[in-house]
Chains A and B, each alone.
Chain A
């Protein structure tokens, strides 16, 4: 009798697991909120467990940095001189660009950095590519915010709790990012497939891509601001697909920035009332 009871319990929990899977598939808001509350509660515990790894990693980074400090210093001095020259040129170009945009009445969207966050946990799975960061609604983070670093696009927030958020990485199978070819301006979609290289979708047949082509965000969809570096074309598949190597090294992420992009709002066109001549006006002869 007890064995039957145990089998019934097992059957109940198996059915419950399948029910959860089906509910999750339909993007149930309740499930998403519950998930957010639970991962939010466990973030402090994960941080405690991560402390020895974090401390060891910081120490090894410090030792590595000290070892290369002199060579880095020389390199940075040269780079600084180059950057100063480029800054002058860039400022001139920016002024020109602004003037031309004003002439054409083009309005840029506004990009706001909401917060800088630390990565607290990683999926560490071949099938799911996401991570948890230690910023949430308390820091102003909302679902759908773009997550970037100085190298380029990392992903977007998909589930936000009070003090933590889940970030869907650009290499996840569910990730789709509107991008464009920097040279030709052709708009395409960058699709993740859980592999290190992402796939270009909806490439027009008449357009050609070359190895090394730079891929930037197109700004379409309103999640990612335009012209952020995403990656470079790195290989062609045997079926003619285009693979992109991301500009961000997803294996070396420690800190990220959560950004909000607001598309420029245009003044609505108000139709002026058309003046019609009075019908019963007498025509003067």
Chain B
């Protein structure tokens, strides 16, 4: 996706909002909820955040910010460092590769594309984690997470939509 020079110049403070919203989603993912099974089906909130901002305001979510946020998520979650940056950057590149087709469609189409993405994300996350631990991890575990992420997509998107109003 091309970013025009004048847009690049006006990034400044606006870029803070996507960063802060995704940071907040990371915090929400790592809180100790004390609810049975929640740890196995926690929705991938940061994926929703990166998807949303990469589609609607890609100029405010540069790749290095995704890298830092992904790394931070790994550090706070205790997952292998590099896993989340890798997966989130691949997702962002996929969106950029598709271009503005996303923006020209409606919410249902966006959601449908997101479903495809989250399935791919889940499979990749399972595959890389299995390779990392040199053990075949249970792939059923990630299914609950995928379904919850799909279910949470409208809510998180709506909340991010509210914050988007502050981004010029």
Contacts and interface: CB of A to CB of B under 8 A. Distances in A.
A192 to B, nearest CB: 11
B143 to A, nearest CB: 9
Nearest to B70: A17
Interface in A70-92: none
Contacts of B82: 16-24
Nearest to A32: B81
B89 interface: yes
Nearest to A130: B78
Contacts of A57: 34
Interface stretch (B10-18, B21-29, B48-56, B105-113): B21-29
B72 interface: yes
A253 B38 CA distance: 13
Contact of A128 (B79, B86, B89, B96): B79
Given A53-B31, A121-B30, A126 B39 contact: yes
Nearest to A251: B36
Interface string B57-86: 000000110110011100111111111011
Given A42-B72, A128-B78, A194 B137 contact: yes
B166 interface: no
A193 B133 CA distance: 11
B76 A39 contact: yes
B24 A49 contact: yes
27 contacts: A9-B63, A10-B93, A13-B64, A16-B82, A19-B82, A21-B81, A23-B81, A24-B81, A25-B80, A31-B81, A38-B72, A39-B76, A46-B30, A49-B24, A121-B31, A123-B30, A123-B39, A123-B78, A125-B42, A127-B125, A131-B78, A132-B30, A193-B138, A194-B137, A194-B141, A251-B36, A251-B38
A57 B39 CA distance: 17
Contacts of A145: none
A19 B80 CA distance: 11
A179 B63 CA distance: 47
Nearest to A249: B36
- Chain A's interface size range is 35 or more
Contacts of B66: 13
B34 A6 contact: no
Main secondary structure of the interface of B (DSSP, over half): helix
Contacts of A173: 133, 135, 137
The 7 tightest CB contacts between A and B, nearest first, are A20-B82, A126-B141, A17-B86, A21-B82, A130-B78, A124-B42, A121-B30
Given A13-B85, A173-B135, A46 B90 contact: no
B16 to A, nearest CB: 15
Interface residues of B, number: 55
Nearest to A119: B32
A123 B42 CA distance: 10
Nearest to B40: A126
Contact of B71 (A2, A20, A126): A20
A3 to B, nearest CB: 7
Contacts of B155: none
A125 B73 CA distance: 12
A142 interface: no
Interface string A36-77: 001100100110011001000100000000000000000000
B35 to A, nearest CB: 7
B129 interface: yes
Contacts of A253: 32, 34
A24 B125 CA distance: 16
A2 B36 contact: no
B77 A46 contact: no
Q: Could you say which of A124, A173, A251 has the most chain B C-beta atoms within 10 Å of its C-beta?
A: A124
Given A173-B137, A174-B133, A46 B79 contact: no
